[in-house]
Structure 1
């Protein structure tokens, strides 16, 4: 039994939604890759606690990518089982996203502590680990910063305390060495932790906007899928 208006429109909306949802999945994959690359440089960390969020975003994007493809097939073939499975999976993804957002808010202070600890660890190994040294130098040049909290942090590192100097990447100008003095204008005085926090606050707004957009489409998708399920179960032939 064909329904000329309502269910035919719902089927079309489910199909269109899944295409948009597929695009959202691609966007999450891109954001996850970008965040992983950026944090590897900005946070100078390789621990699971710091890289977990970008990887989680990347995995979520891949899952959404395949779930949306599954939803498209279910809508096109008018399969009650596939549409039901799609609605259930989408609901689970939505709940996981809410849980992740709550966890991110609760543990935001811990993230700062982890970043600071890793920065200090990188500073202590400066000059001993070449790749790590290059990342610290790049971090200080990119954020115009010096040390974790400020330039005096380098005075606690043995090799720099003896000569009263800081790494060349702390210099405002390209010189062979940077002597540290309280009134020095040749080095960056602010710490890298401040720069990283500012960077994260700036980019978290973009991530939040994308997340809200995806959540909105997920809710629409669940509603449309439930309507289509009801129509198929009622024995209507959706054209």
Structure 2
């Protein structure tokens, strides 16, 4: 007779379905764990490369876009690792934690979509503030510069609302002493390539001084907020389909995890 009393759940007969659920969950979560580690590594590499942890820069780390990658990678790695280990080790607690976290994540995504739809004006204001902040730090942060350039070149736009928004940048401000004064970045230009081969980084110089009729042949006049809205409207079917597929796959994964849990023996310890 022992002092430690152990109660074990009667183990069900293991079937093909149990093995299928177990290794399916393991492989899927292993892949996403690796993806999460890559995203986390890229984020940390970006922060370290830019010396964002230095004393003089630590105050603005909250606005660093690399922090988004770090947060996303950390959440993805933690979530998928619990599902991966829980599946291969048949750990009841980890599987329960994983399925609960997935359901919470799905609920949060649905609530975020509802809030974004019902608070469209506020979301637009947040996007405007974020883009203006990125434009103000255009020369100082390579990541923000890359993101801004990609948005402007792909959506064929300039600034948040219009090309005059570049006045917010100290280098493109019309009162600035440099050659960039009253200009816009080359990604605002209609044709930034000379003869189709050479990138002309000075094509937007002095563009803010031009009237709209003259400027329209040199740069894109429309702002990127309007471009983003048009892009969403043009691809709303694809966005909706992808969202539904993601939600359905998350729910299915949580359901599979709960189904696997019915086959997993666990121990309840009474001291």
The bucket for the TM-score relative to the shorter chain is: 0.5 to 0.7
- Hey, what's the Cα distance between the residues in 1 that align with 2:96 and 2:225? 42
- 8 Å Cα contact 1:140-1:170 kept in structure 2: yes
Which digits, 9 at most, give the CA deviation of each residue in 1:54-77, with x for residues without a partner?
A: 5554233212332233233334xx
Counterpart for residue 68 of structure 1: 83
Change (3 A) 1:18 1:28: same
Say if 1:67 and 1:167 are closer, same or farther in 2 by CA, change over 3 A: closer
CA distance in 1 between partners of 2:151 and 2:167 (Å): 19
2:254 pairs, out of 218, 221, 236, with 218
Q: Which residue matches 2:142?
A: 131
Q: Is the 8 A contact 1:124 1:157 kept in 2?
A: yes
2:250 is the alignment partner of 1:182? no
TM-score normalised to structure 1 length = 0.65
Paired residues of 2:39 and 2:72 also in contact (CA < 8 A) = yes
Q: For residue 219 of structure 2, give the secondary structure of its aligned residue in structure 1.
A: coil
Counterpart of 2:128 (choices 116, 121, 129) is 116
Helix, strand or coil at the partner of 2:14 = helix
Larger proportion of helix: 1
Listed as ranges, the gaps of 5+ residues in structure 2 are: 1-9, 44-59, 176-180, 193-199, 267-271
Change (3 A) 1:161 1:91: same
Q: 1:58 aligns with which of 41, 61, 73?
A: 73
Are residues 20 and 138 of structure 1, via their aligned partners in 2, closer, same or farther at CA, if it must alter by over 3 Å?
closer
Between the aligned partners of 1:66 and 1:132, the Cα distance in structure 2 is 29
Give the corresponding residue for 1:153. Answer: 165
Equivalent residues, number: 214
Q: 1:14 maps to which residue?
A: 21
1:50-100 CA-partner distances (Å, limit 9, x unpaired): 77765554233212332233233334xxxxxx2x21332123212321332
Q: Is 1:173 aligned to 2:191, yes or no?
A: yes
Distance 1:213 1:181, change over 3 A: same
CA distance in 1, matches of 2:129, 2:77: 31
Deviation track 1:126-164 (CA, whole Å, cap 9, x = no partner) reads: 55x363784344542343221111223335767544675
Q: Report if aligned partners of 2:23, 2:88 keep a CA contact under 8 Å in 1.
A: no
Q: Give unmatched runs, 5+ long, in structure 1.
A: 37-44, 76-81, 234-239
Match of 2:99 in 1: 91
| RMSD between aligned residues | 4.3
Shift in alpha-carbon separation, 1:144–1:27, aligned structure 2, 3 A: farther
| CA separation of 1:48 and 1:14: change in aligned 2, threshold 3 A | farther
What CA deviation, in whole Å up to 9, does each residue of 1:139-193 have, x standing for no partner?
4234322111122333576754467543333111235444332222221122122
Distance 2:138 2:218 in 1: 21
Q: Answer yes or no: is the 8 Å Cα contact 2:25–2:84 preserved in 1.
A: yes
- Identify the residue that residue 49 of structure 2 maps to in structure 1: none
Secondary structure, counterpart of 1:7 in structure 2: coil
